[in-house]
Amino acid sequence: MTSLMKTTFGEYIRLLRNENELTLTQLAAKLDLDSANLSKIENGKRDFDEKRLPKLARIFKLKLTELRDEYVTDQIGKHIYETNCTKQLLEVAEEKAEYRRTLNKSLQTQ
C-alpha cells in the first residue's frame, strides 16, 4: 500500500486539482459535474459519488484501486467520526466485520 492522505476525500480532490492547475469549472466538466457541486464536495458539504471514481482516476492518472482505498477510508472515517466511535468500539466493529465474513463463507459452501 502506498501512503494514503490524512485528509478528507474532498480536500484530496482539491489538492489534485491545484497540483494540476485546473479550475473548479474545468475539473467539473471533466467529471461531468456541476462546478458548484464540486465546490461543495471539496468543502465537505457533499459526498463525491463513487460512480465517478473511474473518471477521477483517469483524469489524474491514478490507479483506481488506490483511489478507491482513499475513498473507502474516507467514508468509513466519516462514519467513525459521525458516530463518535472510539478506538475500543472500532475493534469490536472490526470483529463484527470478520464475523460477517465467516457468515458469508459458510453461506458459500451450502
Partner DNA sequence: TAAGACTTGTCATTATTTGACAAATTTAAA
Partner DNA sequence: TTTAAATTTGTCAAATAATGACAAGTCTTA
- Write the CA distances from 32 to 4, 75, 94, integer angstroms: 26, 22, 36
* Site map 44..83 versus DNA, x via CB under 7 A: -xxx-x----------------------------------
d(CA 57, CA 64): 6
Q: Which does 45 bind (CB under 5 to 8 A by kind): DNA, a second copy, none?
A: DNA
| Residue from 16, 37, 69, 73 in contact with DNA (CB under 7 A) | 37
Does position 4 interact with DNA (CB under 7 A)? The reply is no
Report the half-sphere exposure of 93 (CA within 13 A, side-chain side).
Answer: 12
CB nearer a second copy, residue 21 or residue 102 = 102
d(CA 102, CA 51): 28
| Residues in touch with a second copy (CB under 8 A) | 1, 4, 6-8, 69, 72-81, 83, 85, 87-90, 92-97, 99-101, 103
Q: Which does 94 bind (CB under 5 to 8 A by kind): DNA, a second copy, none?
A: a second copy
- The H or E element containing residue 91 is helix 87-108
d(CA 71, CA 86): 21
Does position 35 interact with DNA (CB under 7 A)? The reply is yes
**One-letter amino acid of 4:** L
